[in-house]
Amino acid sequence: MKRKSTLNRRSFLTRTSAIGGALYLGGCDKLSQSPSFRDLLDQAEGVTMGVQRFVLTSRSLAREFSEKDISSTFKANGSTGVDDPTYEKNASEKFANWKLVVGGLVERPMSLSLDDLHRLPARTQITRHDCVEGWSAIGKWKGAQFSALLQTVGLKPNARYLVFHCADMLEPGSPYYESIDLIDAFHPQTILAYDMNDAPLSVPHGAPVRLRVERQLGYKHAKYVMRIEAVSSFAFVAGGNGGFWEDRGYEWYAGI
Amino acid sequence: MEAASIGASATRTDGPTVVYRHALPVRIAHWINVVCLFILLMSGLQIFNAHPSLYLGSASDPSQRVLSMGAVREADGTPVGVTTIGNLRFRTTGVLGLSKGIGGELENRGFPSWITIPSYRDLATGRRWHFFFAWLFVLNGLAYFIYSIWSGHFRRDLVPTQTQVRHIGHDILDHLHLHFPKGEQAKHYNVLQKLAYLLVVFVLLPLTILAGLTMSPGLDAAFPFLLDIFGGRQSARTVHFICASGIVLFVFVHVVMVLVSGVWNNLRSMVTGRYRIEPAE
């Protein structure tokens, strides 16, 4: 009698855990697709950003490495080229006739050539690039200090974000874009990089310029930047979440 | 706070006695932890699957790779899952590197779909789950720490007594024979339990959190010493994975011990606080 009850108990436990496990798994997939549950999960991003911004001073620098630490292979992730005749023509001319357009909520909208960018105060940094997928690579970047560019164009008082419009499309009809706020825009390590590892930025890595925003993950580092727009809100840009990957569920604040 | 003490209300009688074993805050913290750890593990494996390799150092240098999972094709074209740990290669088709997705088709993925959240491949959603429950886990842990210091739970219930340390050999033998304490002795955690809990509470869980924080490029800028503690971001990622495996091992042993030492009694004590003690022979 005792034996029978133990067996029943065991099979009850096994069945309960099996059913529980299945419910748990199916439930997690359902919850993953429920808009209200996703909204709840997304609340964590605000907490993370609030806490990180609290502990990060505007001067806290991402670690800089030495020449010997530079990765021998640096994976070019996302787009590795741009399928567009104008871009291809510019690339074949080494971007001699290419212009970066800066506009939106700025006092002096302008178009800058690669030479113009080279004339802005430059910064060189050997930093670690952290992909959201989990890998890291170390590269040497040289570019125009973004704060210097912003001082040249002058931000209007209601400008809150800088949106980077890019030439590449990871999906048809959806050009890549990204956005950062003024805290990151004025950070000393935020640069528009035109050189990588002592050579002009190659096409796979985002020629002619890519953003480096070193305290955030790789997808914030927009490649193939064509136009920069100062805005008061990015709610009306593309999907409204501030970036190509942000429109696909990734965090806008990518410091984690 | 007498009631919080293990066995504080026990009286000596000949029959089984019921003692108040787990205080309410400990019970609440325990079950929140169960939910958090399950979700953190499974969403963590989703995140791991986005790049199913581990390295030592700052960057993902292939020469510093310590573990990787993936699929390769054999000479006849059959895909096989391969897991590499150091220089050792294992065929892990069906589980690691190559397994059936929710559509029933074999796919190239690190851990199988039945152990990831979501079950299908979705890094963005995995991250959302992971970070939400990481916050819940950390806040729950902080509340537990504050309560346990304030109430004396750590000092009274988790620190082994001198007598217990002296008899540790005897305790190990008892455990191996699945002899569990009765009577007066059963009112306290035994020394192996205490050491296991101390290791998890003070070493494994904090180390997992620290290693996790070190993967954040933002926090690395705020606290660069994190990188020095672990020897680089990729080392931290590896440590995070190893610690998580340690927690899985702990949970497995913990659940086995619960099952063999009286599942209903243990479950009830973690739900209502009440634990039945058999008289000593």
Q: Give DSSP secondary structure letters for B167-198.
A: THHHHHHHHHTT----GGGGGS--HHHHHHHH
B interface residues, A as partner, C-beta within 8 Å: 38-39, 42, 47-48, 50-51, 53, 58-62, 114, 117-120, 122-125, 127-129, 131-132, 134-135, 215-224, 227, 233-234, 237, 259, 263
Strands (DSSP E) contained in chain A are 99-104, 110-113, 122-130, 136-145, 161-171, 174-181, 191-196, 199-200, 210-212, 225-231
Percent over 70 (pLDDT), chain B: 95
pLDDT class for A7, splitting at 50, 70, 90?
Answer: low
Distance to chain A for B73, nearest Cα, Å: 23
Helices (H), B14-122: 24-49
Say if residue B144 is in the same domain as residue B228: yes
Q: Residue B5: pLDDT band by 50, 70, 90 thresholds?
A: very low
- Residue B8 is predicted with a pLDDT of 46
**Residue A209 to chain B, least CA–CA distance (Å):** 22
- Candidate from A22-31, A96-105, B52-61 with smallest mean pLDDT: A22-31
Specify which residues A19 forms β-bridges with. Answer: none
Nearest to A44 among B120, B132, B224 (CB): B132
Full domain range(s) for residue B101? 56-110
pLDDT confidence tier of residue B16, bands split at 50, 70 and 90: confident
Residues B88 and B188 in one domain: no
Same domain (yes/no): B222, B259: yes
Q: Does the CB of A12 have a partner CB in chain B at under 8 Å?
A: no
Average pLDDT, chain B: 92
- Tell whether B71 and B192 lie within a shared domain: no
CB B197 within 8 A of CB B159: no
Same domain, B205 and B273: yes
Percent above pLDDT 90 for chain B? 75
For residues B238 and B52, the answer to whether their CB atoms sit within 8 Å is: no
B201-229: average pLDDT: 97
How many independent structural domains does chain B possess? Answer: 2
Q: Are B130 and B50 in contact (CB under 8 A)?
A: no
Distance, in Å, from the CA atom of B49 to the CA atom of B119, rounded to the nearest integer, reads 11
Query: How far apart, in whole angstroms, are the C-alpha atoms of residue B162 and residue B184?
Result: 17
Q: What is residue B62's predicted lDDT score, i.e. its pLDDT?
A: 95
Same domain, B210 and B167: yes
Q: Write down the mean pLDDT value for chain A.
A: 94
Residues 178-207 of A with CB under 8 A from B: none
pLDDT (mean) for B270-280: 90
pLDDT at B95 over 60: yes
Pick the closest to residue B90 from B79, B99, B98, B82 (CA basis): B82
Residue B86 pLDDT exceeds 50: yes
Q: Phi and psi of B134, rounded to 5°? A: -65, -40
pLDDT band, residue A95 (cuts 50/70/90): very high
Residue B28, domain CATH: 1.20.950.20
Pairing of strands A210-212, A191-196: antiparallel
Task: Choose among A32, A44, A72: nearest Cβ to B125.
Answer: A32
Name the more confident of B43 and B156. B43
Q: Could you report the per-residue pLDDT of A137-183, keeping only the tens digit for each?
A: 999 999 999 999 999 999 999 999 999 999 999 999 999 999 999 99
Are B102 and B169 in the same domain?
no
- Give the chain B residue nearest A189 (alpha carbons): B221
A42 touches B: beta carbon within 8 Å: yes
- Residues of chain B in contact with residue A248, where contact means CB-CB under 8 angstroms, are 124
Provide the shortest C-alpha distance from residue B190 to chain A (in Å). Answer: 26
Q: In this predicted structure, what is the pLDDT of residue A122?
A: 98
Q: What is the least distance, in Å, from the CA of B16 to any CA of chain A?
A: 19
Structure tokens at B189: 């955690």
Tell whether ipTM is more than 0.85. Answer: yes
Mean pLDDT of A19-37: 85
B159 Cα to chain A: minimum distance (Å): 33
Q: Are residues B46 and B78 in the same domain?
A: no
- Tokens, residue B255: 């659940």
Count of alpha carbons within 13 angstroms of residue A123, beta-carbon side: 20
Which of A9, A43, A68, A136 has the highest number of chain B CBs within 10 A, making it the mutation to test binding with B? Answer: A136
- B198 shares a domain with B86: no
Probe site for chain A from B45, B66, B121, B127 (most A CB atoms < 10 A): B127
Rounded alpha-carbon distances, angstroms, from residue A73 to A70, A135, A197: 9, 12, 11
Contact A65 B58 (CB under 8 A): yes
B37 and B9 belong to one structural domain:
yes
Residue keyed to tokens 């003692």: B19
pLDDT in tens, A196-251: 999 999 999 999 999 999 999 999 999 999 999 999 999 999 999 999 999 999 99
Distance from CA of B64 to the nearest CA of A (A): 12
Cβ partners under 8 Å of residue A5, min gap 6? none
pLDDT over threshold 70, residue B260? yes
Please give the residue of chain A at the shortest CA–CA distance from B135: A44
| B238 touches B54 (CB < 8 A) | yes
pLDDT attached to residue A117: 98
Confidence band, pLDDT 50/70/90 cuts, at residue A5 = low
| B164 and B40 in a common domain | yes
Interface test with B, best of A31, A133, A213, A250 (most B CBs within 10 A): A133
pLDDT of B6 higher than 80: no
Q: Tokens 């606080």 label which residue? A: B273
The verdict on B208 and B266 lying in the same domain is yes
Distance between CA B170 and CA B157 in Å, rounded? 20
Residue B2 has pLDDT above 70, yes or no: no
Q: Do B217 and A65 touch (CB under 8 A)?
A: no
